[in-house]
Amino acid sequence: MEQTAPLTTSPRSECQRLLEIARCEREIAAAEDALRGNHRDVVGLCLAISDWSVERRILEQQTLRAFEPQNL
């Protein structure tokens, strides 16, 4: 029987990461809605969308790495 390495993340940390991804998505949606509503701070909202999108991408990459074959 082949031995595998232990998981590098716990189910709890994975759950937390999924909650953080959901928060990023909510923040992005709120900023997009504000832009559609003709909010005056266009630059600030675009920066917020960019920042939250990067954060989401980082979290998603961490999630994918946790399930790569060498980590299973």
Per-residue pLDDT of the chain (72 residues; tens, 9 = 90+): 444 444 555 777 889 999 999 999 999 999 999 999 999 999 999 999 999 999 999 999 998 887 777 655
How far CA 6 is from CA of 65, 66, 67, in Å, comes to 13, 10, 11
CA–CA separation, 29 and 4 (whole Å): 40
pLDDT of amino acid 68: 75
**Has this prediction a pTM greater than 0.75?**
yes
